[in-house]
Amino acid sequence: MSAVGVGMVFISFLGFLIGKYAAGMAQNRGFRLLRAAGGYVLGNVIAAILIAVSMAMYYFHVTWGERVVTFAIPAVMGLVALEMLANLVLDIYRPRVEGQEARPPYDSRLLGLFAEPEGVFRTVAATLDYQFGFKVSETWFYRFMERAIIPLALVQLISLWLLTALVVVDQDEIVFIERLGRPYLRANDAAEGIRATVFTPGLYLKLPWPFSVARHVPAYKVHEMSVGKVLEARQAHWTEMLNVMDEADVVLWRELHIDPRKGYEVSFLVPSTAELEVGAEPPAPEGEGSAGPVAPRVNLARLECTFYLRVKRKPNGELDENAAFTYQYRQADVMEHVEKLAYRALCRIAANQDFLGWVAEDRGPVADKFLRMMREAVEEADLGLEVVDATMPAVHPPAEVARPYEAVVAALEERESLIKQGEQTSIRTRKGAEGRREELVSEAEGYAYRESKVAKAEAEQFLAQLDAYRAAPRVYLFRTYFDTIEHAFEKQKLYVVPVTANEVQIIDLQEKIRTQLLEDFEALKETP
């Protein structure tokens, strides 16, 4: 960074020489076009010097200079662009005077002030003369303003300086007035033991700055302070009460509770349930050769805690003037001290909490405990403040472990689902087997009953056939023979052909349509 700074200084020096040379050459009539170039070069020189100064300030950990330069340079560039556009438009409508020298639109009058700082009024006069087409600089009003502008500016500056003698105290604050660095104290207030005179809401008159300075204290406001989230930009952690952030109503554990570009959440160590049990044995080291103490099992918790502060009140409810004095003059940054006290209290609370119980049921009691600890800590530190209330709206594990936790829960649910599916398959298989068994038993009983009845019927049929055979053997045989033939040729066509030695029999096996059907079809066609 030092090399860059030296380079910026060298470039600034070289550009200053070139810019002043161009501005000097532009005084000659034949080199008027160099006036715009000289103004732009000197403008860049001033920008480079400001950047080098801001880099030097940043080296000494002063960052506001860089922020000012970051916005100032683009703002000036925007003004120059608007000026060029205005010059282009106004040059179209300005009156044309014979012999008057024309100025291009890119010749910036604003940057010309850097090129010729000693001729500010001359530049303004030349611009007015060029725009209106006559010698505005020779009018009485211009000459009067040229003589009176410096006294008027001084009168305005003195008026602004005198306005610093007025002090306006709002309804929700009080003011301490310092005279030459010491808080102002009336005699009657000193007799009452008050350390500095308190000015309540109203209008007051004091010595102008820097002889007298007003210190405003928001004594009648209730302020909100949140801990658990660290803002990278170190913005103010406390806002007015009821200044609710615009956030979603429901935030899941696996979602980040703060934009990573703005800051991060603080993690607190919370012991596991086994570590909280009284008399519990420490975890055994892994391996036989392990030696030394074993780290206890802990969990990480992230939380957001909000508490409300105000300047301390007296027992009768009125404002404590000495507490307001302590709040204003005790420390340079009281709220940073309160924030550290809050983190210390949260670390002590987290070290004695069961994470699952804290998340599920104990959030309210823990918030009450935090409120008591903060009241005791702020009172012991003597900061002139008192804690009104405290809440703990969010306690959750880190977002990075939410997905593995959900994976474990999903695995447990999948295990239960597989168990239910196995039980369902077991019941279905068992019931199916029982039904199949009953079916086979029924089929076997039916088959046995059928076979026994068929065998009995065949035996009785055989006895009847035997009796018939004994009564008429030949008749029974021929009858049985012809019954068999009739049964065999029941669906067959038989043709009886005489046996001849000298004739060839031709048999037409095609179906013959009956003539009666043909006659019926012809009659159907003739019917109208």
Distance of CA 47 to the CA centre of its chain: 37
CA of 459: how far to CAs of 35, 221, 451, 463, 481, in Å? 140, 117, 12, 6, 21
Distance of alpha carbon 467 from alpha carbon 461, whole angstroms: 10
Give me the pLDDT at residue 204, please: 92
Give me the pLDDT at residue 114, please: 63
Q: Which long-range CB contacts under 8 A does 258-265 form with residues at least 24 apart?
A: 258/229, 262/231, 262/232, 262/233, 263/229, 263/230, 263/231, 263/232, 263/233, 264/229, 264/230, 264/232, 265/228, 265/229, 265/230, 265/302, 265/304, 265/398
**DSSP labels, 25-75:** HTTSGGGTTHHHHHHHHHHHHHHHHHHHHHHHHHHTT--HHHHHHHHHHHH
Q: What class has domain 224-276+296-397? A: alpha beta
Residue entry with tokens 């689902």:
417
> Any idea where the domains of the chain sit in the sequence?
2-132, 166-217, 224-276+296-397
Taking each helix axis from N to C terminus, what angle separates 402-471 and 473-488, rounded to the nearest 10 degrees?
Answer: 140
Asked if 42 and 24 count as a contact pair (C-beta separation under 8 A), the reply is no
In this structure, the number of other CB atoms found within 10 A of the CB of residue 41 comes to 23
Distance of alpha carbon 275 from alpha carbon 290, whole angstroms: 21
CA atoms within 13 A on the CB side of 84: 11
Give me the pLDDT at residue 244, please: 36
Give me the pLDDT at residue 44, please: 84
Give me the pLDDT at residue 65, please: 83
Q: Is 0.85 surpassed by the pTM of this model? A: no
Distance of alpha carbon 160 from alpha carbon 383, whole angstroms: 36
Asked if 507 and 495 count as a contact pair (C-beta separation under 8 A), the reply is yes
Asked if 139 and 122 count as a contact pair (C-beta separation under 8 A), the reply is no
CA of 189: how far to CAs of 194, 317, 325, in Å? 5, 19, 13
Quick one: 45 exposed, middle or buried, by C-beta within 10 A (0-12, 13-18, 19+)? buried
Give me the pLDDT at residue 416, please: 92
Distance of alpha carbon 387 from alpha carbon 372, whole angstroms: 9
pLDDT per residue, tens digit, the chain (528 aa), is 567 767 777 888 888 788 777 777 777 777 777 777 777 888 888 888 888 888 888 877 788 888 888 898 889 888 888 888 887 787 777 666 666 666 777 777 777 766 665 455 555 666 666 555 556 556 666 666 667 777 888 889 999 999 999 999 998 899 999 988 889 888 888 888 888 888 988 999 999 988 999 999 998 888 888 888 777 654 444 443 333 344 555 666 666 666 667 767 788 888 876 555 544 455 555 555 555 555 556 678 888 888 999 999 988 888 888 888 988 888 888 888 999 999 999 889 888 887 777 777 777 888 889 899 999 999 998 888 999 998 888 787 787 777 777 788 889 899 999 999 999 999 999 999 999 999 999 999 999 998 888 888 888 888 888 888 888 888 888 888 888 888 887 777 777 777 777 777 777 777 666 666 666 666 666 665
Asked if 41 and 15 count as a contact pair (C-beta separation under 8 A), the reply is yes
Distance of CA 304 to the CA centre of its chain: 16
Cis geometry, peptide bond prior to residue 210 (ω within 30 degrees of 0) = yes
In this structure, the number of other CB atoms found within 10 A of the CB of residue 230 comes to 15
Give me the pLDDT at residue 427, please: 93
**DSSP labels, 122-147:** HHHHHHHHHHHSS-GGGSHHHHHHHH
List for the chain the helix, strand, coil content (%; round to 5).
Answer: 55, 15, 30
What residue type is assigned to position 86 of the chain? A
For residue 336, give both structure tokens. Answer: 């940073």
Give me the pLDDT at residue 32, please: 72
